[in-house]
Amino acid sequence: MKVESPAFKDGDVIPKKYTCDGENVSPPLVWLGYPKEAKSFVLIVDDPDAPVGTFTHWVVYDIPISETSLKENFPKDGQVGSVKQGRNDFGKVGYGGPCPPKGHGYHRYFFRVYALNVESLGLPPGATRKQVESKMRGHILSEGYTVGRYKRE
């Protein structure tokens, strides 16, 4: 699977607009090349370089197979149509942009999309990453990711 964003190329710096120093809105994302058996998608965005360990910025699940993208500034609601969003490590539902400690250099942000063989994980809106990953176990057909970088001065 291939995941990309029209807002930044893989490995490039994430524009300030999508961070806590800007508008803190989600970047647009597109994915392709998933298995034809797929029935839904999950998106997890995290920063493995955070001082406290991997920090989760966005959890989206029950994305229908008909949706192969998420638009910029995706609403920060628990449920948008059939798409559900979980709680990030900021303690909020929806997207929380890069916000690394100042002076720590660049952090990497992985935007991972998983193709699943089930239509729904059976979780309510606001689930944690741990709950989503537990329900995904044994249902992942494919995955792909793109990485953006960001640092604060």
Q: How many distinct structural domains can be found in the chain?
A: 1
Counts of helices then strands in the chain (DSSP H, E): 1, 9
pLDDT in tens, 96-149: 999 999 988 999 999 999 999 999 999 999 999 999 999 999 999 999 999 999
Place of tokens 């961070």: 19
CB 85 within 8 A of CB 94: yes
Is 93 a residue whose pLDDT tops 90? yes
CATH of the domain at 142: 3.90.280.10
* Owning domain of residue 103: 2-150
Give start and end residues of each alpha helix (H) in the chain.
Answer: 129-136
| pLDDT at position 153 | 82
Contacts of residue 143, defined as CB under 8 A and 6 or more positions apart, other chains included, come to 1, 112, 113, 114, 115
| pLDDT at position 147 | 98
| pLDDT at position 88 | 98
pLDDT in tens, 58-86: 999 999 999 999 999 999 999 999 999 99
Neighbours of 90 (CB within 10 A): 15
